[in-house]
Amino acid sequence: MQKILIIEDELNIAELERDYLEVNGFESDIATTGEKGLELARMNTYNLILLDLMLPGIDGFELYKRLRQVLDIPILMVTARKEDIDMIRGFDRGADDYIIKPFNPNELVARVKAHISRYDRLIQREQIQNTLQIGSILIQSDSRRVFVNDEEKMFTAKEFDLLKFLVENPNIAFTKEHLMERIWGYDSLGDVNTVTVHIRKIREKIEKDPSNPQFIETIWGVGYRFMKKDRFQ
């Protein structure tokens, strides 16, 4: 269930927000002080924060900054002050929005829904961009994990870098010297056989039959090429 953190010192408003969110299928926690809000935000996972800017104790904008240091979920700010709006616009962050008091609770719920789904789409897109799928091989760039037929394979840092480089540059033959430079750096004094050894280890992990590789092809006298056939696309 999607969960909202309501930071609002006026309990009747907080409860009104909670009731409308509940009717619309959201769960919510209420914090009536900024300090409590920060604490809850750190302890739990929320999909969105409703933040009243007029709070006793920590100022709403200060609280906003502290929340932003640890979170990137949407923050919907609630304010009665026109001057706050210019401040909020100044932040220029896609994940932020504001609603003016007094507000129509249905509009509030609609905004909450819109921001959550926008954020979810953003995250999904990032995940797709960070993932490379080639046939049975799945490479997650961010977490540097490799799965073959849904089974995770352990890669050393250089093996991972080498595989990722080849996958990102399919159907191009690279010399061992070039791969050496790309992965180990220009200053590396290494033996190009290091590349051969790494390719062999990668093949053992990704190829069904490492002696008859389907993915990393050896180009005799040149080096290697990652084969990306149409059927993999």
Interacting span for Ca ion (CB under 5 A) from 50-58, 135-143, 184-192, 195-203: 50-58
Interacting span for Ca ion (CB under 5 A) from 29-37, 52-60, 85-93, 176-184: 52-60
Size of the site for Ca ion (CB under 5 A): 3
Judged by CB under 5 A, the residue of 16, 38, 40, 54 near Ca ion is: 54
Q: Of 36 and 164, which has the nearer Cβ to Ca ion?
A: 36
Q: Does residue number 159 form part of the binding site for Ca ion (CB under 5 A)?
A: no
Q: Of 56 and 221, which has the nearer Cβ to Ca ion?
A: 56
CA distance 55 to 52: 7
> CB of residue 56 vs Ca ion: minimum separation in angstroms?
8
CA distance 179 to 185: 9
Beta bridge partners of 51: 7, 77
Beta bridge partners of 93: none
> CB of residue 7 vs Ca ion: minimum separation in angstroms?
9
SS3 call for 10: coil
Beta carbons of 146 and 157 less than 8 angstroms apart: no
SS3 call for 122: helix
Q: Does residue number 52 form part of the binding site for Ca ion (CB under 5 A)?
A: yes
Q: Of 81 and 200, which has the nearer Cβ to Ca ion?
A: 81
Task: For residue 206, count CB atoms less than 10 angstroms from its CB and return exposed for 0-12, middle for 13-18, buried for 19 or more.
Answer: buried
> CB of residue 114 vs Ca ion: minimum separation in angstroms?
24
SS3 call for 30: strand
Q: Does residue number 15 form part of the binding site for Ca ion (CB under 5 A)?
A: no
Interacting span for Ca ion (CB under 5 A) from 46-54, 63-71, 93-101, 170-178: 46-54
Interacting span for Ca ion (CB under 5 A) from 2-10, 57-65, 125-133, 160-168: 2-10
Q: Of 38 and 54, which has the nearer Cβ to Ca ion?
A: 54
Short-list 219, 207, 40, 191, CA closest to 137: 207
Q: Of 14 and 202, which has the nearer Cβ to Ca ion?
A: 14
> CB of residue 77 vs Ca ion: minimum separation in angstroms?
11
Pairing of strands 3-7, 48-52: parallel
CA distance 116 to 28: 14
CA distance 114 to 20: 15
Residues of the shown chain interacting with Ca ion in the complex, contacts defined by CB under 5 A: 9, 52, 54
